[in-house]
Structure formats: C-alpha cells, structure tokens
Structure 1
Amino acid sequence: MKTVLITGTSSGIGLATAVAAAHAGYTVIATMRDPSRARPLLDATGAAGITVDVRHLDVTDAESIDTCIDALVKRYGRLDAVVNNAGISSFDPTLEMSTMDNLRANLEVNFFGVIALSRVAMPLLRTARGRLVTIGSVHGLVGQPFNEAYCAAKFAVEGFMESLAPVAAAHGVKVSVVVPGFVLGTNFGVFPDINRKTIQAISGAYAPTFKAYFDWVVSQGWAAAGQKAQEVAETVVRTLTSDDPPFRVATNEWVEDYLSEKLTDRDGSRIQALARTWIGAA
C-alpha cells in the first residue's frame, strides 16, 4: 500500500485531504504541530471507518522533520508521496504596520517549512518514483492587498516548485502545486469583525483603502468564490493518483478564470487595474 505524508491535518484542507487519501487506499501519515488537536481528524476517520497514523511534525523544526521521517521509514519502509499543506495566514494593514518578526515568521512556515520537508523527503520520493504536492494559493500568482507577506511566501513556493519540477521529473518524482481560492468552513484566513475593527483603528493613512478592500472581501470577493475543503482535498487526491498530473492544478473553474487574469497579463497592468478596484482607487 502506498504511503502519503500530509502536513497540517488538524483542520481544513489538511484534515479533509487525510480523510480523502485514506478513502483512496493510501496509508496516511497525518502530521500536525500539536497532536493534541487531532480529535476532529480522529472523529472524522472513525465515523468513516478508516484510520490514519497521527504524528507530530513542526515544519519549522529540522529535528522534528528528521524524527518524523525516520519513524515512518522504520514503520513503513517507504514514502510514496508528500502533501505540503501546513501554513499560517497573515493580515496586516500594510507593510509599515507589520514587524520584521511577523514577516519572517510567515516566510518561515509558508515557504521555508515547505522546502525543509521536501528536501528531506526527496530521496525517499525518488526511490518510490513518487509525488510531491504542495498546496499553493491564488495569492501565489495574483498579489493581494494587505496580504503582502503571505503572497510573498506563496509566490516563492510557486517559483521554487516550478524550478524543481523538471529536474524532479527527470529523476522520477512528479511535482505539482494545487491552487485553491478561498476555502469556506475553516479558520484559515478568516477575519472576524473584532480584528477588522482593531486593524482599522491602527491603519492610519491606509484606513480608507483597508475599508474598501475588506468590504470587497466580505461582499463580492473570496466569500462569493469560496469552496469547501473537501473539494480541494478531492483535487489533491486526483493529483496524487493521476498518471501524469499537470504542474499547476486549479481547484475549480473560478480559480482557473482568476489565474488567467495573471497568466495573460504580460506587463502587469491588468492585475494592477483589478487590484485598484478592490481598494476603491479605480
């Protein structure tokens, strides 16, 4: 039976992917930074009559990565696939209002954490002629106001994996980035009203553009284009099981249309004009 290691499985896309992959016949190593938060996953798998192997893994801790990989090799003798899903969101009024520590922390989890795990797993994936799948974001191709650090990390992931993909393929490993939009029913990227009021109060000169952007988010932006974590998970499993998956895999038609705005925007003017409408500066 093939094995897949999935990060960030305590909730959202990671949890749904762990369940979907187990249903698809994989032995699932479901990792999370805090295994005490495994109850929702265990409840979901128990209700479905399937099992997963819950393990501790902190993608920002090299020792944690090594320990987890060593343990799964000892237990299963192989690793056929990795799904890089663990991540954090950030939402600052703008670059001036953030801190260098916050900016670095975002890159540490969302970019360097992905690379650190992929680097350690790659020899095993080469042996298995396996799959390396990373959860990207539309924010990895289209920059989003007030999400600069998160976008920077996701852009970096896109560039790194796009560069790695042909080399990995030449050595038997297929690399893909699954690109969702806004995922409903999770805590990731949710902006409760108390946060909005707090950020609004400290946003200074950027208050009008922040208000316009947030109004767009809740009225006709991500909320209008959202999808369930299960839909993303199903896309991930199709990518894992496809004979020849593409490098970039959109999770629905809205994402495909949204990305086309960037991928056909040769000089960047189309995206800049679009973003100005989000912040009331068109």
Structure 2
Amino acid sequence: MSCLKHLHFENVAGKVVLITGASSGIGEHVAYEYAKKGAKLALVARRKDRLEIVAETSRQLGSGDVSNVEDCKKFIDETIHHFGKLDHLINNAGVPQTVIFEDFTQIQDANSIMDINFWGSTYITYFAIPHLRKSKGKIVVISSATAIIPLPVASVYSASKAALVKFFETLRVEISPDIKITIALPGFISTDMTTPQFKEMYGSDFILSESVSRCAKAIFRGIGEEFLDLRSVRAIVVGFDSSKILFPTKVANGSYDGG
C-alpha cells in the first residue's frame, strides 16, 4: 500500500515557462505538453531552424549557447521583458559523448560536454532565481539515469549528469521553500541525439524502446503532481520540493566490448 496520497495537479495555464534545449528530443516534447495546457513558452536552443518549427505556438528567444554566461543572462532578461515574469525553468540542454575516454583526440574536448550539460544549467539558474522567488516557481532538471548507472562511452557525460543531480539537490536545500526543484533521470529514450549514437556504438539491432513523447508526458506529470506523505505524523508535503523522477530500464549483467 502506497504511503503517498495524491493531492492535486498544478494548473499551468498562463504560466511562463523557459525551456532550454527545446529544438528536439525531450525539450521539444515537454514544450508540447506545456502548450497543450495553455502555458506561455520561451524556448532556447542552438539550432534555430528546428527551434522555429517547435515555436509555432510560443515566444521564441532565438538561438543561443547555454554554456555562454552572457547568453544565459539574455535568455532570462528577454523572457522577463516579454512576459513580465518567470514561473518554470526547464534545464534540458545537453550534448552526448560518442567515444570512450581514452579515445578523445583532444582531452580539452571533454570540457564542452561539462560546459553545456552542467555549467549551462547552473548559469541560467543563477539568473533565474530572483524571478522564480517572486513567482514561487519551479526549476526542472533533466539529468540522466547514467548519473547513477555506469554506461561505457559516457564517462564525461555521466559525470556531467551526476554533477547536475548533486548540485540541484543541494540548491533545493538552499532555496526551499520559495522555489521547488524536480530532477528527472531518463533512461534509454529514443531521440534524435541518442538513437544514432547508440546504434553506432552497439549495432543496428540496439533498440531504444521508450519513446520521447511518453518520456515527456511522464516528466510533465511529475512536475505538476503534489503528494502527501502519510507516513509523517506532521503530514509533511513532499513533491515539488523534493521530487525525483526516475525512468528505470532493465539493466543486465554483462561487459562492454571496446573492440
């Protein structure tokens, strides 16, 4: 029997939501979920052509790089200028890793993975916090199951995603209860980024069975749901300020053949 009792689902109609990495994959489909419920969207991505397609029903900030501090400040400033507020920040921007660690041609190339996947989320969060305090808003972080499950050919990527989890778990303590934080850890999700990468590494028969649309729907539900912990005598509410969404996948014992 579950010790959690569902309380309600947040109405996001009219809420202002900024999503990074919104031109494809999870970010794109999370944007669609918000749009269906009447949210006002500000979308950020590096691929402007794809972003314009996604942005048919939203305010589009233009292409930009979350690893650039000035770009991150611009994203927040333009959102506030256009909408006057910010309710949700969805930190989704990320890039993959395609070689094992010792095969990096230049070890400095690993920096870009950490810059985009980790620092990009922390930079934009820094500029968003004052506005999210005013709206009693939320920060959503799209990490990865690789933050807790070792995956060959993803050493630096996994480190960047694990860093996200620890940073935002700590930040949650610092900024609670004014701002709620939800952390999502998707497993093997079929996206434009992951499907070619995994098929190249593990062969054409490798199947990513979880659709990006289904993943986005689960994330959206997790963002909006709030629960009452029935195990607590004081009926402490857990949910927005302490939620973590995990999309588990079957993990079999085995080894990776680097040859």
Q: Which amino acid in 2 is paired with 1:70?
A: D
Partner-residue secondary structure (3-state), 1:104: helix
Residue among 44, 61, 66 paired with 2:68: 61
**How many residues get paired?**
230
The 5-angstrom pairing of residues 118-267 of structure 1 reads 118-170=125-177, 172-188=178-194, 190-191=196-197, 196=201, 214=202, 218-219=205-206, 223=207, 226-243=209-226, 244-245=239-240, 246-251=242-247, 254-255=248-249
Give TM-score, length-normalised by structure 1.
0.74
Name the CA distance, whole Å, in 2 between partners of 1:139 and 1:118: 22
Partner-residue secondary structure (3-state), 1:6: strand
Structure 2 gap segments, 5+ residues each: 1-13, 227-238
Name the CA distance, whole Å, in 1 between partners of 2:216 and 2:197: 23
Q: Verify the 8 A CA contact 1:18 1:52 in the aligned structure 2.
A: no
Partner-residue secondary structure (3-state), 2:108: helix
Give TM-score, length-normalised by structure 2.
0.81
Residue among 110, 120, 129 paired with 1:113: 120
Residue equivalent to 1:270: none
Q: Verify the 8 A CA contact 2:90 2:141 in the aligned structure 1.
A: yes
Residue among 9, 19, 40 paired with 1:27: 40
- 1:58-105 alpha-carbon deviations (Å, 9 max, x no partner): 20111111122111111111100100111000121x322113221111
Residue among 43, 49, 53 paired with 1:36: 49
Q: Verify the 8 A CA contact 1:35 1:54 in the aligned structure 2.
A: no
Name the CA distance, whole Å, in 1 between partners of 2:27 and 2:184: 13
Q: Which amino acid in 1 is paired with 2:84?
A: G
Runs of 4+ in 1 over 3 A off after TM superposition: none
Distance 1:241 1:90, change over 3 A: same
Q: Which amino acid in 1 is paired with 2:140?
A: V
Residue equivalent to 1:89: 96
Q: Verify the 8 A CA contact 1:88 1:188 in the aligned structure 2.
A: no
Instruction: Provide the aligned C-alpha RMSD in A.
Output: 2.3
The 5-angstrom pairing of residues 268-279 of structure 1 reads 274=253, 277-279=254-256
Q: Which has the higher helix share?
A: 1
Residue equivalent to 1:11: 24
Q: Which amino acid in 2 is paired with 1:72?
A: T
Structure 1 gap segments, 5+ residues each: 46-50, 197-213, 259-272
Q: Verify the 8 A CA contact 1:81 1:240 in the aligned structure 2.
A: no
Q: Which amino acid in 2 is paired with 1:24?
A: K
Name the CA distance, whole Å, in 1 between partners of 2:172 and 2:34: 23
* Overall identity of the aligned pairs, in %: 24
Distance 1:178 1:165, change over 3 A: same
Partner-residue secondary structure (3-state), 1:190: helix
Name the CA distance, whole Å, in 2 between partners of 1:279 and 1:39: 39
